[in-house]
């Protein structure tokens, strides 16, 4: 049953950005001082990380000019598409004549989904392209595992329909540009989560763990290296920080939910209890707790922090106790 909660969160987090507002947001970067966040272009060039060449695409994506954003996406699309075609050919090998991974379709889908978030969290153009290519490679692997040709109906490996209409938006990067222009609310939501997470931190090490592991999805080996610790010590430090972070980011939901709904949030998301334990505490049963989580808690989380924010929440909540764990403890 716990797996159903995580699966529901992952499905919610994997939804491609779809909103009504069309003016792109100037992305927000975490500000350790707790003062109002500054946009990337308001900081001195030396503080942006990398030189002008290393940040050209990101700076254009983060500008307020739709023309500049379009140019950045056009250029990225050409480079990423070429590399994706070579990647697909290498992965298929002798199967290339029998299996079509449809690299261009994958590139459009991945860029439409990932660019709004990556424009906020990436350090430079190299980091941006590496994250896009990793997502494309993972999509190729999923499709190979599914052992079926991909139809041009924009369905991903899990069978979910992507929410941008490539035919209506135009071929190639036009669909990506359309999706990016519709991402303002999602970027605002992610920026809100970053601000709340960093505001809960008391030291530079804590901020590093939040920004690198939760927001930028870096490996623990990378995070530990930046902290000057080994992986075990870094994970222990994060486990001590986790409760404070959960309290901080979940508290705003209390005003949007009823008492029983908030009780589910506290049990499952903050205290990280199993569904059976949550049912016992709330005087309900596990299926009812799961139904509340899916119908009320997830929509509230998505409204507050967006799809990208839910991905960070999954990493923050981490492994929760299963019903078997609860039984052993009893």
Taking the C-alpha atoms of residue 263 and residue 69, their distance in angstroms, rounded to an integer, is: 43
Q: Helix 103-121 to helix 125-146 angle, to the nearest 10 degrees?
A: 140
Are the C-beta atoms of 44 and 55 separated by less than 8 Å? no
Q: Return the pLDDT at 246.
A: 93
What's the chain's Rg over C-alpha atoms?
21
Partners of 159 in the β-ladder: none
Supply the DSSP string of 172-240, one letter for each residue.
Answer: THHHHHHHHHT-HHHHHHHHHHHHHHHHT--SHHHHHHIIIIIIS---HHHHHHHHTS-HHHHHHHHHH
Q: Return the pLDDT at 41.
A: 35
Q: Return the pLDDT at 263.
A: 92
Q: Return the pLDDT at 147.
A: 60
Are the C-beta atoms of 286 and 1 separated by less than 8 Å? yes
Q: Return the pLDDT at 228.
A: 94
| Model confidence pTM above 0.75 | no
Question: Which stretches of the chain score pLDDT less than 70?
Answer: 1-53, 147-172, 182-184, 320-330
Of the candidates 190, 182, 188, 144, the residue with the CA atom closest to the CA atom of residue 164: 182
* SS3 call for 57: helix
Is the sign of the CA dihedral 309, 314, 318, 324 positive or negative? positive
Please classify residue 33 by burial: count the beta carbons closer than 10 Å to its beta carbon, then call 0-12 exposed, 13-18 middle and 19+ buried.
exposed
Residue 324 token pair: 């078997």
């Amino acid at each position: 049953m716990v797996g159903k909660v995580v699966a529901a969160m992952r499905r919610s987090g994997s939804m491609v950005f779809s909103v009504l507002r069309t003016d792109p947001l100037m992305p927000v970067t975490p500000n350790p001082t707790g003062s109002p966040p500054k946009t990337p272009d308001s900081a001195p060039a030396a503080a942006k990380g990398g030189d002008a060449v290393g940040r050209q695409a990101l700076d254009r994506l983060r500008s307020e000019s739709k023309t500049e954003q379009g140019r950045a996406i056009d250029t990225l699309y050409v480079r990423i598409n070429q590399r994706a075609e070579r990647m697909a050919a290498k992965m298929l090998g002798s199967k290339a004549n029998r299996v079509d991974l449809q690299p261009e379709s994958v590139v459009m889908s991945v860029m439409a989904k990932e660019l709004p978030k990556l424009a906020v969290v990436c350090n430079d153009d190299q980091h941006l392209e590496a994250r896009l290519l990793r997502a494309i490679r993972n999509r190729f692997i999923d499709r190979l595992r599914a052992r079926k040709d991909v139809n041009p109906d924009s369905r991903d490996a899990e069978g979910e329909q992507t929410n941008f209409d490539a035919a209506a938006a135009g071929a190639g990067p036009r669909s990506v540009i359309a999706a990016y222009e519709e991402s303002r609310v999602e970027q605002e939501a992610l920026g809100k989560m970053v601000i709340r997470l960093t505001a809960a931190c008391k030291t530079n090490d804590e901020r590093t763990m939040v920004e690198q592991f939760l927001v930028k999805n870096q490996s623990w080996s990378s995070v530990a290296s930046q902290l000057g610790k080994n992986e075990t010590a870094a994970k222990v430090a994060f486990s001590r920080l986790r409760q404070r972070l959960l309290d901080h980011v979940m508290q705003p939901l209390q005003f949007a939910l009823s008492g029983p709904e908030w009780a589910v949030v506290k049990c499952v998301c903050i205290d990280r209890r199993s569904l059976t334990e949550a049912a016992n505490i709330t005087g309900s049963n596990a299926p009812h707790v799961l139904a509340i989580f899916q119908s009320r808690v997830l929509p509230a989380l998505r409204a507050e922090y967006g799809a990208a924010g839910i991905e960070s929440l999954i990493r923050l909540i981490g492994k929760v106790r299963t019903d078997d764990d609860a039984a052993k403890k009893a």
